[in-house]
Amino acid sequence: MRFTKMHGIGNDYIYINCLEEAVADPGALSVRLSDRRFGVGGDGIILICRSSVADFRMRMFNADGSESEMCGNGIRCFAKYVFDKGLTRKETITVETGAGVKTIAMEVVGGKVRRARVDMGEPILSPAQIPVNLPGEAIVNAPILVEDRRFFFTAVSMGNPHCVVFVDEIDDELVLGYGPRFERHALFPARVNTEFARVISPREVEMRVWERGSGETWACGTGASAVGVAGVLTGRTERRITVHLRGGDLEIEWAAGNHVFMTGPAETVFEGTLDSE
C-alpha cells in the first residue's frame, strides 16, 4: 500500500488514495501508522475517496483510531494531494466531509499547490448541536470547573466540537495537564477539542490545542477557526485575525456572510510503501 506523509503547519497526516487502494479497517490502520516510534508517525490518517455529491470525499481518523468529522489542516493537504497527483486540474474543488461539503481554493505556484483557502462553513453555536450539556442558545464565556480549577469557555462547532478558553499565559500545565480533562469532561458528551488562546492584539492571537483522540497537535485548522469565532463573540478580536500556532500561522476570517475562511500552507513530507502485514 502506497502512502504520502503531509502536514499543514505541523499537523501531520498519512494520506492513502482509496481510489486505488482498499483499506479494510481504517481505525486500526490509523493506530498502527500514527505511532511515532513503531509506525510512520502522524496525528492520524486521511483517506482520499470517491464522492457522489462533491469532487472528492475525505475521511479522517485520529491517532487513537476514532473517526473525526473534519480537519482544517488536513483538508488543505488533501487539496494539494489531489492536485499535485493529477487527480484534478481544477484549482477550486469541493470535498465531502463528515461536516458537510467544503470548498477549497488552491494557490498554485510552479504547478504545485503552496497554500489553500478553505470555506469552513458557518459556525454552530447551539449547545445541543455542538454538543454541550448546557441549556441556552449559545455558550459564551461560561464558567466551567475542571477538577480543581475554574475556567471560562466559549463553545463552537466547526463541524466538530471546540471549547475555546482565553488565558493570560499558555503553558504545559494548561495544555498537557488540563487538555485531557477538558476532552472527557461531563459537559461534552462527544468529547471536545480544547483551544487555549492568548490575545496579542485585536488582529493577532496565540493558540495551543489539545485535540480529542490525538492529544496536543502543532496546529488545528478547525480550532483556529473556532478561536476566530470565539474572539468576536467575546469582544476580544476583530473578524479577521492571524492565529499563531506551534507549527506556524493561519489566517482566519469570519466573513459577513457568516462563513469562516481559513488560509494556510500545505506541504508534502515524503512518500512510501507499507507492508501488507
Per the DSSP assignment, residues forming a β-bridge with 151 are 144
- Give the active site residue among 18, 49, 71, 77: 71
| pLDDT tens digits along 34-53 | 999 999 999 999 999 999 99
Report the pLDDT averaged over residues 130-140: 97
Tens digit of pLDDT for each residue in 84-98? 999 999 999 999 999
Q: What confidence tens digit (pLDDT) does each residue in 166-196 have?
A: 999 999 999 999 999 999 999 999 999 999 9
Concatenated DSSP letters of the chain: -EEEEEEETTEEEEEEETTT---S-HHHHHHHHH-TTTSS--SEEEEEE--SSSSEEEEEEETTS-EES--HHHHHHHHHHHHHTTS---SEEEEEETTEEEEEEEEEETTEEEEEEEEEEPPB--TTTTT-S--SS---SEEEEETTEEEEEEEEESSSEEEEEE-S---HIIIIIIHHHHHT-TT-TT--EEEEEEEEETTEEEEEEEETTTEEES--HHHHHHHHHHHHHTTSS-SEEEEEETTEEEEEEE-TTS-EEEEEE-EEEEEEE----
First and final CA of the chain: distance in angstroms?
10
Which domains are assigned to the chain? Answer: 2-119+264-273 (3.10.310.10), 142-258 (3.10.310.10)
Phi, psi of 176 (to 5 degrees): -85, -30
pLDDT at 277 over 90: no
pLDDT at 276: 65
- Mean pLDDT throughout 104-120? 97
For 52-75, what is each residue's pLDDT tens digit?
999 999 999 999 999 999 999 999
State the average pLDDT over residues 93-108.
Answer: 97
- The CA distance from 211 to 209, in Å, is 6
Catalytic one of 49, 77, 163, 220: 220
Mean pLDDT of 96-119: 97
pTM: 0.92
Pairing of strands 240-245, 204-211: parallel
Q: Of 256, 275, 260, 247, whose CA–CA distance to 77 is shortest?
A: 247
Is 71 tagged catalytic? yes
**Do residues 76 and 265 touch, judged by C-beta distance below 8 A?**
yes
All 3 cell numbers of residue 270?
515524503
The pLDDT value given to residue 275: 81
Query: What is the residue-averaged pLDDT of the chain?
Result: 97
Distances (CA, A) of 171 to 60, 194, 214: 28, 14, 18
The string of pLDDT tens digits covering residues 202-241 is 999 999 999 999 999 999 999 999 999 999 999 999 999 9
